[in-house]
Structure 1
Amino acid sequence: MKKLKTISVLSIAGFDGSGGAGIQADTKTISALGCYATNVLTALPIQNTQGVRNIFEISPKAIEEQLRAIFDDIYPDAIKIGMVHNTTLVNIIADFLKDYTGKIVFDPVMVSTSGHRLIDEDTITACIEKLFPLVDIITPNLDEVAVLVGNKIATVEQMEVAGKSLLNMGCQSVLVKGGHLDSDVLTSLLVLQNEPILSFHTPKIATPNTHGSGCTLSSAIATFLAQKYTLKEAVGKALNFVHEAIFHSKDLIIGQGNGPLNHLYAPQKLITYEISM
């Protein structure tokens, strides 16, 4: 007897009631790219398109039980990790995933759009020590890179140096995102161990609607990795997806601040394949 199986991608991330970032953005992205999304909620930020107002904690026991429930039932083909805002949570996730053999993408959410630090130094240290060696790629923006390396990053040359420094912190690979560059053409760099740096270039789109772009990119990379694309292919396809999602949202009015991307500009059908039962 033959049945149809889906490709599942797990988002371990925070909440966004406005629907543009966090688990909501991840679920939309994973679904739009043809995979089945599952979730583990790590925190309850109170936010909208104008910014983060507060962050409420989820109990460590609840997070561990969420992970166990998903793994017992819908084992993920790839994982995206987003907001991990305290050391206890870092330890729980790292311990739970230490034997996981699929691909893991970590978007180190450390700084809000308004420039506020969202996690403390101890948590940053825990992320570096516990999560960086565990994951296949990290995807920091320039503000987060600056926090990690201790220097402001404003040029592509500085991005290259910072990317190499991040590899020395134990990462397998780093995508240094150039979305905050003051340039008409945005450059992102894929920095790999013992390989030349790869550059990806996209024209900047004049729009305030970029809320959740980092969440969208990291979950898109995880989704393409789950579909068995190489890391280089997954990064390129994910960057293109984000660019198109921003382009198709540029004239939308959703909220009174930085609106979300249009994740559903061209949704794919759910990818399935036959298995014997």
Structure 2
Amino acid sequence: MTDPSQRLGRVLIIAGSDSGGGAGIQADIKTVTAMGGYAATAVTAVTIQDTLGVHGVHPLPLDVIEQQARVVLDDIGADAFKTGMLGTVEVVERVAAILAGHPAAAVVDPVMIAKGGHPLLAEAAVGAVRSLMVPRATLLTPNAPEAEALTGIPVADLDGQRRAGEALLALGARAVLMKGGHVGEGPTVTDLLLTPSGETLLEGERFDTTSTHGTGCTLASACAAGIARGQPLEVAVAEAWAYVAEAIRRAPGLGHGHGPLDHGWRLRR
């Protein structure tokens, strides 16, 4: 059996582009590479974006999105999918069909709102994510507002994280990583990994920083890289979580708003 630490896992990322490089496809590629995987992409939309916010969103045609994914799968293949910004009901439906036709694991980041507050998922598409993407998720990675939108359950503390996560498992996700960055204001952040067999708490320092742009994209992609390399889910999530924490700690301080992480710190170690 191949040693997971030596395997080059192939991750097909289906998400939007961030011209500022802190989130979206750009952050995903950097993360998967840093975590020892091979990143391929199917871009869903081009955003005009920097650390100050999203200044424009330009969706790609549905057939172009699908063709990007199909040619990659036919030629290179994939050990895992990572989905991010999908934007509309039609894109959700098309991407869900791609995932349904392939056996690779899927890490689904239900991206709804950019760090600066710009909506990245149409309100009408929330139901499509709930019914089509959640049941196809090997791992679902919502933050508190996203979990509330998908379940209707308030997420203001650890108990809310647990109840919303359990509801998402009931909707068909095989595992849920409930992110705690939006929960509370104390000195620590707690993420909660829930599976049908139990739960794992991931607790660490809450950094006093504005360099948090793309943390959700980065965490989901790091998880996908580990899963693609053959790591057990709990190991992949723990390694991804530690990678993101250090990337925040080492953030380079670029831009005048919500700055990017240091995605390449592992490569310089």
Q: TM-score, normalised by structure 2?
A: 0.93
1:149 aligns with 2:145: no
Aligned to 1:30: 32
Q: How far apart in 2 are the matches of 1:233 and 1:56?
A: 37
Q: Considering only CA atoms, is the larger Rg found in Structure 1 or Structure 2?
A: 1
Aligned residue for 1:24, secondary structure, equals: helix
1:236 aligns with 2:225: no
Aligned residue for 1:133, secondary structure, equals: helix
Of residues 216-225 and 126-135 in structure 1, the stretch that sits farther from structure 2 once superposed is 126-135
Q: Which of 117, 130, 133 does residue 132 from structure 2 map onto?
A: 130
Aligned to 1:263: 263
Aligned to 2:103: 101
Q: How far apart in 2 are the matches of 1:187 and 1:108?
A: 19
Aligned residue for 2:64, secondary structure, equals: helix
Alignment of 1:1-277 (within 5 A): 6-181=8-183, 182-193=185-196, 195-249=197-251, 252-267=252-267
CA 1:121–1:169 in 2, change beyond 3 Å: closer, same or farther? Answer: farther
Shift of 1:152: 3.7
Q: If each structure's helix is expressed as a fraction of its own residues, which one has the higher value? A: 2
The one-letter code of the counterpart of 2:30 is: K
In the alignment, is the contact (CA less than 8 A) between 1:138 and 1:173 conserved in 2? yes
Listed as ranges, the gaps of 5+ residues in structure 1 are 270-277
Q: How far apart in 1 are the matches of 2:213 and 2:86?
A: 19
In the alignment, is the contact (CA less than 8 A) between 1:30 and 1:220 conserved in 2? yes
Structure 1 stretches of at least 4 aligned residues deviating more than 4 Å after TM superposition: none
The one-letter code of the counterpart of 1:89 is: V
Q: How far apart in 2 are the matches of 1:109 and 1:183?
A: 25
Q: Percent identity?
A: 38
Of residues 113-122 and 170-179 in structure 1, the stretch that sits farther from structure 2 once superposed is 113-122
Aligned residue for 1:42, secondary structure, equals: strand
The one-letter code of the counterpart of 1:105 is: V
Aligned residue for 2:227, secondary structure, equals: helix
Q: How far apart in 2 are the matches of 1:54 and 1:143?
A: 22
The one-letter code of the counterpart of 1:50 is: L
Q: CA RMSD in A?
A: 1.8
Number of matched pairs: 263
Q: How far apart in 2 are the matches of 1:116 and 1:197?
A: 32
The one-letter code of the counterpart of 1:259 is: G
Aligned residue for 1:15, secondary structure, equals: strand
Kindly provide the CA deviation profile for residues 82-123 of structure 1, in whole angstroms up to 9, marking residues without a partner as x.
111111111111112213112110000012223343323331
Higher RCO, 1 vs 2 (CA within 8 Å, ≥6 residues apart): 1
Q: TM-score, normalised by structure 1?
A: 0.90
